[in-house]
């Protein structure tokens, strides 16, 4: 994974030049160690006996995540704020 200093490189600038605001925000989160750690914790929440919808909703709000349309996914729970 590239380091934070790689954002100044010409190669990274060329790779990110085509990104819209949402794509750029996703890239920012991808490089944020706290977000990645919390995301990993929430990914584990998709299994029984782990944090529920309220925790996923709090995570989504804390990081400004919005999922306006849920995918039609057989076997996916109907409720939930975080899709992986």
3-state helix, strand, coil in the chain (%, to 5): 55, 0, 45
Q: Quote the CA–CA distance of 31 and 7 in Å, as a whole number.
A: 10
Q: Quote the CA–CA distance of 78 and 38 in Å, as a whole number.
A: 22
CB distance 51 to 42 below 8 Å: yes
List the pLDDT tens digit at each of the 84 positions of the chain: 556 555 567 887 787 788 888 888 888 888 899 999 998 887 776 666 555 677 878 888 899 887 665 555 555 555 554 544
């Amino acid at each position: 994974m590239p380091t934070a200093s790689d954002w100044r490189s010409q190669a990274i600038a060329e790779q990110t030049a085509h990104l819209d605001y949402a794509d750029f925000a996703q890239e920012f989160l991808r490089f944020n160690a706290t977000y990645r750690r919390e995301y990993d914790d929430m990914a584990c929440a998709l299994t029984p006996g782990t944090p529920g919808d309220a925790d996923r909703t709090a995570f989504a709000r804390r990081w400004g995540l919005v999922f306006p349309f849920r995918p039609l996914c057989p076997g996916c729970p109907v409720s939930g704020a975080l899709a992986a």
